[in-house]
Structure formats: C-alpha cells, structure tokens
Amino acid sequence: MKKDLGVVSAVFPMPVLMIGTYDKNKNVNVMNAAWGQICDDDKIMIFIGEGKKTWNNIVKSKAFTVSLADAKHITEADYFGIVSGNKINDKFTHTGLTAIPSEHVNAPIIDEFPVCMECELIEIVKLKYTNGIVGKIVNVKADENVLDEKDIIDPKKLNVALFDTFKLGYYTIGEEIAKAFDVGTKLLKDK
C-alpha cells in the first residue's frame, strides 16, 4: 500500500551538472545545477534563476559548458552549489580545478570533470513558475579513460554523480539492468 507524502520532488536520479561560463572580464564561474535535462538530440535545457551570475554570464556571452560531475570531484561540485558567484566573485579559484577555454564556444571547460558539452545559447524560456536556458550542443569532450573500445562513453567508467532530492545525498550509478529499446520488445512478441 502506498502512503501519501505530500509535495516532494520525487524524481531520482537528478544529474549533477556543472555549468561553466565566463563573466565580462573572462573570469571563470561554475554553478551546480541539478535542474537540467537533454531536450533533443543536440539540445540541453538548464533551469536557472534569473539574476544568478551564471544566468547573466550566459545572456551576455551566448555560450556555456555543461560538465557531468563525478564522484572523485563531488566536494568541488557541491561547493559550486553552495557558494553564489554573485557573493564570491572568484569562487572557482578556491577549488584548485583547472579551466581551459573551449575551442567551440565562449565558455570554459573544467578539465577535471570527465565529460563536457560545449553549448551555444539558442533560447531563453520564461515561464510563470520557472526560467530555462536552452543550449545547442556543438561538441562533446570526454576523457579517454571513460570511453569504451568504440569511443562511446561508458557509464561504469564515468562514475557520474547523481543527486538525491529525497535525503539530499549524492550517489553513483549501479550495474546495467537491461538494454534500452530492446528489453521491452519481449512484450511485443507475446502479442
């Protein structure tokens, strides 16, 4: 029997996305944004509050990067979610991480995070209850050590961090349980 819990953000897992931008002086800013998702094969949407430093940087530069946080760098990823770039202008320097300029967009790549999507701003969606930034993914960079023999990102090697909205924890993924677009075909055969 199910029990009523009231209003809970009941989506698990949530990604731990690191949004990288430059400010007008080319200073690196990184924000932890769990509220984001791929919204097409080559597009990603990030929900960011208007007025945040990351929002302002994206509006001005028309570009950003989205990196997947991993377990090895969860301390730094959490820090980027705790500290506001509007209050501490040089928060990136406190982490000891390395930023390199993207070759494709006007935004930084955080070298230590294993996968990075380089994005151009294509749309700002302002809704009654939230705001979203849509980026066109123009390139993806991945560390070689997270790729399989066919140069495809291997989730087991990635050790990606996931955010738990229930108890406010971070987790990593487990074993594959089935092949997508395959396991469900068993039900088609029974008909």
Q: Which is more confident, 58 or 85?
A: 58
Does residue 184 form part of some domain?
yes
Distance CA 160, CA 88 (A): 27
Does residue 86 form part of some domain?
yes
Does residue 108 form part of some domain?
yes
Peptide linkage before 13 cis (omega within 30 of 0): yes
- Taking residues 131-158, what's their average pLDDT? 96
Does residue 8 form part of some domain?
no
Does residue 135 form part of some domain?
yes
- Is the entire prediction scored with pTM above 0.85? yes
Residue 172 tokens, joined: 């990593």
Does residue 1 form part of some domain?
no
List of residues 6+ apart from 9 with CB closer than 8 A: 165
Q: Which is more confident, 98 or 186?
A: 98
Residue 173 is part of a domain; what is its CATH number? 2.30.110.10
List of residues 6+ apart from 149 with CB closer than 8 A: none
Helices of type H across the chain: 53-61, 74-82, 155-158, 185-189
3-state SS, residue 92: helix
Neighbours of 29 (CB within 10 A): 26
The mean pLDDT of the chain is: 93
Q: Provide the sign of the torsion angle of the four alpha carbons 118, 158, 32, 6, taken in this order.
A: positive
pLDDT in the model for residue 191: 58
pLDDT in the model for residue 13: 87
Look at the chain and report how many structural domains it folds into.
1
Give the rounded distance of the alpha carbon of 118 from its chain centre.
11
Confidence of residue 190 (pLDDT cuts 50, 70, 90): low
Residue 129, domain extent: 14-189
Does residue 156 form part of some domain?
yes
- Taking residues 114-120, what's their average pLDDT? 98
Does residue 175 form part of some domain?
yes
